[in-house]
Structure 1
């Protein structure tokens, strides 16, 4: 479908939204007229009010809402003076694609690249163009792969994808907002009805009368009905526009393969899911490791560390590249499945362009380290920028895990406090165990129905794993408070904690000590010996099992 036909269909769909509003207003007006002719005046007046309340969101959706001129996506704007090589590459690719280059390039902190155009008159006139380029994406791609990504994004300009997007975005935004208005009003109506019924039940209960079950099923039904009407049109709207979007993606892929090469384009597409998964993992397990303790990695390392993780976990990433997502695409998804796009590119004839641009894409940046540091100031919130910077990743891990262990409060802590009436400390727990009351204490833990009904050995088998885990955590917290733990940081595997060495130079066996304390006949001597030795000294020694999936989780 050509640009003209797509523009016509987009306008028809947008006009359909306004026509739907006109029809609904006409129906409401017709009902009001019938009420005026045939209904008692008191009833008619009440229904007039309902009609007006229903008409307000329709009118707001039609005339009072406007699509923002900017999509609101933030980033670090870079000029040609800041990044001459990046701008040169973008201009060169725009010329090869056959379109004018963007007016602004903004570097972002996610694994993505996108283009927008603030077109005027619903896309009939061109406007300023913005290119958003994720620095983590650049960190994971070669220069040739990045050229393919950029050529793909610039290809969207050729077929007026971004300009026509203004029309579809207008309809999409107004549909979402109109539906939200009706659902919000339905929720408020249901809330008022719930409050009314609960107040009525409270009065009945105070007088000793029987209360009724709260039922708000009929509250807000007119608002929900109107929302369903618009939702049905939204399904039609999105199916039609998303089909166009998927065709546009295939066309942009073809442009990228023509300009940057088949192999570079296919490999760039293969990288996207693995990089997205890797960066999410990196953020969760590394970059935000210390946020609960108001700690940040060294300056420049919030994004800089991602380079090292990609290098250390190359084998894992290779497996992700080989297993592309194959799940069916929703009719409302704007992009085809990555696997389908890769197959389409790899089906193209070989072009002999296999040895181009092997260097890292971040080589296009004038000073990558400086850019990574400056980007942090743009991406981080004002609150996060006030966090303390640690001197190294090792310091961050140690401080974050110490803070995390110090704040641990398991169900065992709460049960122990309730059982003894004293602060839930490790010495208090050991006394309970020595007094032979461990299993009575365990009955105060949150238990499944099956566990709660069990007795004897069966009960002990149910609760022993929970007890072992909780006691292990209490002991680790105690050793951490005594500065007897040291965490080993790693980019390639889980963090490893070093425990003190015993008198014979071997690692203290925390697992065995906890197992002895939770045996059928509990024995706290090994655990007391471990804590006594940890208190008097010892040197950091052997490894325990990795406790987390990343630096720490």
Structure 2
């Protein structure tokens, strides 16, 4: 009886706004018809003001019934491939008083959710889906993971998912109608006021009902696996979500622009979490309290206190250990779920280990301006784009020209001092990237993982030099490239000014600095550096990987 009354209340609440819109539209149409029977002329005048409002309401109601394309994402977890996980889900569903889901999908989000395909506005259930986040599987204990699963399955037994679709449609229709109303029209302005007040009251009521549903699902989880495991699971949700966001934004795609992804992403995620131990422990002890008035979930502190007060011991025996133990050969499955969360372009990315990815990503980030600066040096000196050409152009006092893009009008009206300072920054970054790439190839710079940072580079300990200082000297008011040339000479290739020998006499220069015509001398390190900083083909070690949404890419490489 309690479940029936809650279902009726839910249906009534989510239908208030659409029914109001329908009633208002019907009243306006009926009024227009009545006016036409009394006076066609008057009816036409009324229609001029009423018809636009009826059309706005009609389009909003159309959104309510319009088909929504909502494909199921994630990697299917089939029962014959993962029987242990499915056996646990079936036991938890039985304890929660509901049928098991029709399918389970592993997704790339640090979350878990349920979805139910329905017909006739939620009256008929067709198919149930359970979505499990790969980060939860990777980092939760099996008992904690079981608590999260039971919470989601309890939404089925409480019929919370039955009317989720129509509730979503109702909100879409409401928002669409408000956004398309003409606030300059007096009738639509009055209707906007009415719907906003009506919608606010409904939203408050549905928020209270949603929070009661969440509390009921929390209680079901505690009674299934115990209050201790459920509290531990809820405390772990924020640390996993925060660390996963850091991983996606700063680490996973560090080599994306160069065409690379990590071969074992979750190994890196584990290292990141270990490096953030103190921060995550603080987050675990004090879950964030950012609940908003219309949040469908109660504040986490209230949920944890309520679960702890139950002192439930649990009735389901869950295998000890990590949730990964519930999966057979979990690494490929987790990786497939992660790739499913990326854009299709991820299929073209090569897979490399983390040390290689750190090196590739670091060089790519540092050489962002290198191609442009080398191209300018080649254009100004009529020589090949190389590190030697760039150093010679700096010695020739061409700093401002090296940092200017001839095809861009930006900065042309700036004064000489401003253009010089801008060029100094651009050329300095480009030169620094070129030198780092050259020294990395020579083995003088080594790259290493540096969690929670993206990575770190270390100059050979035998070199008592500071690369930033040498680069600053090269792009100063009075350029001094001697320090960089000496450092680069020490790797085995000359970077000093060449002496010209040949038939010319005195100070004659028969051809620009560079290799002798027809020379078979080896190319110096740094010459022919790719303009975009993309690693060479011999760095690619693996076949391409797989798929959707690309996460953000914030990088913070050490200088």
Pair in the same fold by TM > 0.5: yes
| Aligned counterpart in structure 2 of residue 342 of structure 1, from 280, 287, 304 | 304
1:291 maps to 256
1:320 maps to 283
1:479 maps to 436
Deviation, structure 1 residue 108: 1.4
Distance 1:431 1:379 in 2: 48
1:121 maps to 120
Deviation, structure 1 residue 272: 0.8
1:401 maps to 362
**RMSD (CA atoms):** 4.8
1:124-166 deviation digits (Å, cap 9, x = unpaired): 4444322111121111100010111111112222322222434
Deviation, structure 1 residue 434: 5.6
Q: Does 1:383 align with 2:345?
A: yes
* Inter-CA distance 529–26: structure 2 relative to 1 (3 Å threshold): farther
| Aligned counterpart in structure 1 of residue 269 of structure 2, from 283, 289, 306 | 306
| Aligned counterpart in structure 2 of residue 489 of structure 1, from 440, 444, 449 | 449
**Counterpart secondary structure, 1:163:** coil
Distance 1:334 1:406 in 2: 47
Deviation, structure 1 residue 250: 1.7
Structure showing greater relative contact order (alpha-carbon pairs closer than 8 Å, 6 or more residues apart): 2
Moved more, 338-347 or 432-441: 432-441
Q: Does 1:260 align with 2:222?
A: no
Distance 2:389 2:154 in 1: 68
Moved more, 432-441 or 471-480: 432-441
1:482-528 deviation digits (Å, cap 9, x = unpaired): 73554223445441113356xxx234311332454577876544344
Correspondences of 1:130-149 after superposition (within 5 Å): 130-149=129-148
Preserved contact between residue 225 and residue 314 of structure 2 (Cα < 8 Å): no
2:470 maps to 513
Deviation, structure 1 residue 442: 10
Structure 2, unaligned stretches of length 5 or more?
A: 406-413, 495-523, 526-553
Distance 2:458 2:55 in 1: 65
1:204-254 deviation digits (Å, cap 9, x = unpaired): xxxxxxxxxxxxx97x99878866654544333322212211221122112
Distance 2:556 2:319 in 1: 32
1:207 maps to none
Distance 2:2 2:397 in 1: 81
Distance 2:52 2:288 in 1: 46
* Inter-CA distance 5–473: structure 2 relative to 1 (3 Å threshold): farther
* Structure whose residues are more often helix by fraction: 1
Distance 2:152 2:165 in 1: 17
**Counterpart secondary structure, 1:81:** coil
* Inter-CA distance 345–507: structure 2 relative to 1 (3 Å threshold): farther
**Counterpart secondary structure, 1:105:** strand
* Inter-CA distance 232–408: structure 2 relative to 1 (3 Å threshold): farther
2:237 maps to 272
Distance 1:440 1:473 in 2: 14
* Inter-CA distance 77–402: structure 2 relative to 1 (3 Å threshold): same
1:536 maps to 493
* Inter-CA distance 513–229: structure 2 relative to 1 (3 Å threshold): farther
Preserved contact between residue 223 and residue 312 of structure 2 (Cα < 8 Å): no
Distance 1:312 1:382 in 2: 31
Deviation, structure 1 residue 74: 1.0
Structure 1, unaligned stretches of length 5 or more?
A: 187-216, 445-451, 540-547
Correspondences of 1:14-413 after superposition (within 5 Å): 14-24=15-25, 26-27=27-28, 30=31, 48=47, 51-63=50-62, 65-66=64-65, 71-179=70-178, 182=180, 230-298=195-263, 301-303=264-266, 305-311=268-274, 313-327=276-290, 329-349=291-311, 351=313, 357-375=319-337, 378-385=340-347, 387-408=348-369
**Counterpart secondary structure, 1:116:** strand
Preserved contact between residue 238 and residue 332 of structure 1 (Cα < 8 Å): yes
1:205 maps to none
Number of residue pairs matched by the alignment: 491
Distance 1:364 1:514 in 2: 54
* Inter-CA distance 422–318: structure 2 relative to 1 (3 Å threshold): farther
* Inter-CA distance 129–532: structure 2 relative to 1 (3 Å threshold): same
Deviation, structure 1 residue 9: 3.0
1:360-397 deviation digits (Å, cap 9, x = unpaired): 10111122123234435644443321x13233222233
2:9 maps to 9
